[in-house]
Amino acid sequence: MNIGSTHALSGPFETEALSVVSVQFSPVSAQTTEDVETNVETICDFMNRAVGGFPGVDLIVTSEGALQGFGPDCKNVLLNYDGPEIRRLKDICKSLDVWGIFCPLFREYAGMKCANTCIMINNKGEIVHHYVKMNPWIPGETSCPGGECPTTLGPKGARIATIICADGDYPEMWRAAADGGANVIVRVSFDMSPWDKAWEITNKAMAYTTQCYVVTSNAVGLDEVYSYFGRSMILNPDGAIITEAPMGLPWMIKADLYPAIVDHTRTQYASNNFQWARRHRGASHPNLAGVGASVRAYGNESVR
Amino acid sequence: MKKYYMAAAHNVVRALDAGNIRFPIGKEELLAQVGNREVQIDFDRKISISEYCGNIKIDNFENKAQFFSALTAANTEEV
């Protein structure tokens, strides 16, 4: 970091490192409550492993489907918001003093039946963030789409937005996260062959265009139908991969991020300040005099 | 081949840094802090920041991108 602008990133600013671990493993394609319990146990094992291997970690990210898989029976093992599986995740976050991101398929959340939901639990064991996948992978996924992409204050100056798997194929989802003030966008996935190259392309491209850190976690392994490739990765706001897990293996990756750098770029980038420039097109033209034209003037305000 | 003086923007950045300019900032405040500083904008021309910014048409700069866009616009002739 940092190659995003031609101009130097001037001026002092304070920042604190956000230490992130992303976990990838092969969850059981759950058919029973016992299968879900097995997956929760695996998640807890990885969290214990993460704090052991990376002392001081602030945030641990797990993949979509890590609790239930995404097999034909996953709708038979939907979770309750206040069920024992979620309580266990709350407890381990509190006991390890870490934040965690998990992706349960809830029986119901906020009136939505079968809600593929990304939750963030803080280090006190409280759920502080909810995001319901807005772009279920149709026609294969029958979850109810959510309606908003919130940003939530996380540890160490992070403002975290989450998107889920196929959401990442839609640039407007990433933009919504950045527009909401995110400096770290977390993409949790259960992504499979043949999209392992698209996975890298979209993660890189949207880290670059949103100028946010991107943290991803993707499952590995096989279920009844698909092969899940892994390749969880953490990326710089300039689109460069900081670290990447291998294809197909259970793994953990770790990086220290500096969210305040992203905030500083929003005011200090002169060139390539995309979040500002896209709403002030042509601002250097003498007639547009530092204001520029809005996207509305071009008839494509829908990108906002 | 004609040679161009290419350091003008760099010199402005140095002047802003020397004056501890932070964005967002109003034009009036910016000029109060660094308006008197001279910057070289061509091989044979130095002017004050105030003069360089004289034709800027907006009063507030949300960020550095807006400042430099406004500065460029103010010193560009219409085609």
Cβ-based contacts of A11 with chain B (< 8 Å): 17, 20, 22
Phi, psi of A141 (to 5 degrees): -110, 125
A270 in reach of chain B (CB within 8 A): yes
What local confidence, expressed as pLDDT, does residue A289 receive? 84
Q: Cβ B65–A271 below 8 Å, yes or no?
A: yes
Q: Which of A268, A285, A291 sits opposite B64 (nearest CB)?
A: A268
Q: What is the largest CA-CA distance in chain A?
A: 68
Contact by Cβ (8 Å): A219, A24: yes
Alpha-carbon distance of B47 to B41, in angstroms, equals 7
A246 in reach of chain B (CB within 8 A): no
Contact by Cβ (8 Å): A191, A165: yes
Q: Is A165 designated active site?
A: yes
What local confidence, expressed as pLDDT, does residue A5 receive? 78
What local confidence, expressed as pLDDT, does residue A297 receive? 63
Contact by Cβ (8 Å): A127, A107: no
Alpha-carbon distance of A182 to A120, in angstroms, equals 14
Alpha-carbon distance of B27 to B31, in angstroms, equals 6
What local confidence, expressed as pLDDT, does residue A304 receive? 40
Cβ-based contacts of B9 with chain A (< 8 Å): 7, 270
Contact by Cβ (8 Å): A151, A181: yes
Q: Is A114 designated active site?
A: no
A278 in reach of chain B (CB within 8 A): no
Q: Which of B17, B64, B73 sits opposite A283 (nearest CB)?
A: B73
Could you tell me the domains of chain A? 18-259 (3.60.110.10), 269-304 (no CATH)
Question: What is the chain A residue with the closest CA to B21?
Answer: A11
Q: Cβ B9–A7 below 8 Å, yes or no?
A: yes
User: Which residue reads 């003030």 in tokens?
Assistant: A181
What local confidence, expressed as pLDDT, does residue A8 receive? 82
What local confidence, expressed as pLDDT, does residue A300 receive? 57
Q: Which of B23, B56, B78 sits opposite A287 (nearest CB)?
A: B78
DSSP string, A78-133: PBPTTSHHHHHHHHHHHHHT-EEEE--EEEEETTEEEEEEEEEE-TTS-EEEEEE-
Contact by Cβ (8 Å): A80, A106: yes
Query: What are the Cα distances from residue A135, in Å, to A65, A148, A194?
Result: 15, 11, 19
Q: Cβ A285–B73 below 8 Å, yes or no?
A: yes
**Tens digits of residue pLDDT in B18-47:** 999 999 999 999 999 999 999 999 999 999
Task: Answer yes or no: is the ipTM higher than 0.85.
Answer: no
Alpha-carbon distance of B33 to B15, in angstroms, equals 10
Query: What are the Cα distances from residue A63, in Å, to A11, A220, B8, B9?
Result: 37, 9, 49, 46
A168 three-state secondary structure:
helix
A275 three-state secondary structure:
helix
Q: Is A133 designated active site?
A: yes
Its sign, for the CA torsion A61, A62, A63, A67, is negative
Contact by Cβ (8 Å): A146, A112: yes
Q: How many CA atoms lie less than 13 Å away from A255 in the CB half-sphere?
A: 22
The whole-angstrom distance between A286's CA and the closest CA on chain B is 4
Cβ-based neighbour number of residue A33 at 10 Å: 14
Q: Cβ A267–B23 below 8 Å, yes or no?
A: yes
pLDDT along chain A (304 residues), means of 10: 75 90 97 96 95 93 97 91 97 95 97 96 97 94 95 97 98 96 98 96 97 98 94 96 97 97 90 90 87 70 47
What local confidence, expressed as pLDDT, does residue B6 receive? 83
Which pair of structure tokens corresponds to residue A217?
């976690």
- C-alpha closest to that of A152 among A174, A187, A177, A132: A177
Alpha-carbon distance of A181 to A130, in angstroms, equals 16
pTM of the model: 0.90
What local confidence, expressed as pLDDT, does residue A13 receive? 84
The whole-angstrom distance between A282's CA and the closest CA on chain B is 8
What local confidence, expressed as pLDDT, does residue A108 receive? 95
What local confidence, expressed as pLDDT, does residue A293 receive? 80
DSSP-assigned beta bridge partners for residue A253: A22
Q: Give rounded-to-5 percent helix, strand, coil for chain B.
A: 45, 15, 40
- For chain B, the structural domain boundaries read 2-78
What local confidence, expressed as pLDDT, does residue A14 receive? 86
Cβ burial, residue B78 (10 Å; 0-12/13-18/19+): exposed
Please pick, among A90, A103, A118, A133, the residue that the annotation labels catalytic. A133
Its sign, for the CA torsion A276, A15, A208, A269, is positive
